[in-house]
Amino acid sequence: MYFRQMLYERGKAMLPGFGEWTLENEPASIHPEEGLIYPPRLHVHFTHNPAVDAAPLVQFIAEWQNIIPAVAELQIKKFLRQLEIQFEQHHFIEIPLVGNLRQDENGVWIFSESPFLQEGLETLPLKPLTRAGVGRQKPEAEVSAAANVAESEQQPVATESQEPAGAAPYPFEDHHSRGKGWWIVLGVLLILVAVGWTAWDKGWFSSLQKKIWGDTTSLSIPAASQMPALPDSGMEHASNGGQVDSIKTYQLVVSAFADSLDAANFYRQLSSQWPNAELIRDTSSYQYLVTLSMSITAADTAKWVEQIQRIYGGHPYFLQH
């Protein structure tokens, strides 16, 4: 029936003798007591008004089918007759993919919207944003890796004072100790090789290079409402003008959806490839945010941003917490 099509296309539809249905966007809501985040959804509101003007519905059907309004009125009357028969047999009226209409004991019409409008997004547990190091602890692997990197940075300083090759031995030198020293040097070299391989595999060299020479590709983050479209070359972004640190924990926030439907569409596409993405509402800016809490390296960040740009073309940026 074109009633449902008019409701979803124009946000309003009516049936003479019953009333008017209005399509509303219900924003996402946070319930601290329940500890849940309810995603945005479509909500159908019914207003009982037997004398409602059906002229807009007649005009919509006539334009859609390219028929005269008189024929459209006949189709509406036929549909209303089917609803009357259904109500006499089952004591309620069902409009597919819209909802059910029934009367209570006092004759008041009650409308129950279809569960179809509530599908697509799941209720999420409430996880407040916290500062790194307070709300989350670094994994032991990260801590040990950071210690190994610090050790590799300090090692050349310790070896500068070693005896040059070919130099004459000092008086009273213990040759047994000198032999043990070679084993120590060999062990240190093996450790450095292992650390270097791990650093290359994890992308720590690129992070250390940024610390020393600076990240020439990092950009300052403007306000979410003023942020321009992400350029093709913008693969990495800094946090509040700082540098991307591959050791620390960040929260990647894809931002600024003032409209709940845009946020829902973005989350629906994003969750298919990043299941741990979460849709929340920022109570300070009243905007919808999609967050992904994880420990990431600079290389992973570039891949993440490239993926977001490819599937939606949104505006990703970093917020350090």
Containing 124, the helix (H) or strand (E) segment is strand 124-125
> Does the predicted model carry a pTM greater than 0.75?
no
Query: What distance in Å separates the CA atoms of residue 313 and residue 142, rounded to the nearest whole number?
Result: 32
User: How far, in Å, CA of 253 to CA of 292, rounded?
Assistant: 7
pLDDT tens, position by position, 63-109: 888 888 888 888 888 888 888 888 888 888 888 778 888 988 888 88
Q: Which residue has the higher pLDDT, 178 or 195?
A: 195
Mean pLDDT on 227-251:
35
pLDDT value of position 222: 33
Give the pLDDT confidence of 239-250 residue by residue, as tens digits.
333 444 333 333
| Mean pLDDT within 157-171 | 46
Maximum mean pLDDT: which of 195-199, 259-263, 299-303, 307-311:
195-199
What per-residue confidence (pLDDT) applies to 123?
66
Q: Hey, what domains does the chain have and what are their CATH numbers?
A: 2-125 (no CATH), 215-319 (3.30.70.920)
Average pLDDT rounded to a whole number, residues 300-310: 60
Question: Pick the residue with more confidence: 166 or 290?
Answer: 290
